[in-house]
């Protein structure tokens, strides 16, 4: 069952990033560049610290791979296209925190603690996007964020059905996948910050 849910998470992960790319290209989403800068940095750090945490299991760690690669491609597109929300001081603070986690990991070699600290950075990295949505400076399509929550739900099930999973393995999909993506979905719907569902 772990393999099934991990495969579903992987497939849906690629799909939602492609869907989001389409929405940005069509002007249906106006992303926050610094949130994406943070996600790019945190995403690669998360991949490097999470895969050893899950014993390099490709089914449980699939979303870290998908996220890191697709974040890179989307970031390049968003940056080159120039379609993004401006930055603020809070963004820089979260960026420095993420760099601090990188330093901690390099000095201590403790990937578990580094990964858990990265989850704090992940949840903080959603704040610029949430703030921009509340202020009507950004808009998103709820479909991608809803599918992201479902995708990370499959990732959680892949971990839950694996007999050797530890509690720390749930931190990434719960914090980033459900809480982070779910908060964007709720704010997008609550403040009606979308132009269409697709």
pLDDT on residue 86? 63
Q: What is the mean pLDDT of residues 109-116?
A: 92
Confidence of residue 196 (pLDDT cuts 50, 70, 90): low
* Alpha-carbon Rg for the chain in angstroms: 16
pLDDT on residue 109? 92
Q: Is 85 helix (H, G, I), strand (E, B) or coil?
A: strand
Look at residues 116, 115, 145 and name the one whose alpha carbon lies nearest to residue 130: 145
10 Å Cβ neighbour count for 150? Answer: 16
Kind plus residue range of the DSSP H or E element containing 107: helix 89-108
The CA dihedral of 72, 147, 182, 32, to the nearest 10 degrees, is 30
| pLDDT tens digits along 6-61 | 999 999 999 999 998 888 888 888 777 777 888 888 889 999 999 999 999 998 99
32 or 106: which leads in pLDDT? 106
Average pLDDT, the chain: 88
Q: What is the mean pLDDT of residues 71-82?
A: 86
| pLDDT tens digits along 145-172 | 999 999 999 999 999 998 887 899 999 9
Confidence of residue 87 (pLDDT cuts 50, 70, 90): low
Q: Is 32 helix (H, G, I), strand (E, B) or coil?
A: strand
Q: What is the mean pLDDT of residues 168-197?
A: 89
């Amino acid at each position: 069952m772990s393999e099934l849910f991990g495969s579903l998470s992987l497939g849906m992960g690629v799909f939602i990033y492609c869907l989001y790319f389409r929405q940005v290209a069509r002007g249906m989403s106006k992303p926050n560049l610094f949130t994406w800068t943070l996600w790019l940095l945190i995403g690669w750090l998360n991949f490097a610290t999470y895969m050893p945490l899950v014993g390099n299991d490709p089914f449980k760690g699939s979303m870290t791979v998908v996220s890191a690669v697709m974040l890179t491609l989307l970031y390049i597109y968003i940056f080159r296209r120039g379609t993004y929300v401006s930055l603020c001081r809070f963004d820089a603070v979260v960026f420095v925190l993420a760099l601090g986690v990188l330093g901690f990991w390099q000095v201590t070699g403790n990937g578990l603690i580094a990964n858990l600290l990265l989850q704090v950075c992940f949840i903080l990295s959603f704040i610029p996007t949430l703030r921009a949505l509340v202020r009507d400076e950004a808009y998103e399509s709820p479909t991608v964020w809803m599918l992201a929550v479902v995708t990370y739900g499959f990732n959680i099930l892949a971990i839950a059905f694996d007999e050797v999973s530890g509690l720390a393995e749930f931190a990434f999909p719960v914090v980033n996948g459900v809480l982070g993506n779910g908060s964007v979905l709720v704010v997008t719907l609550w403040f009606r910050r979308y132009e269409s569902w697709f």
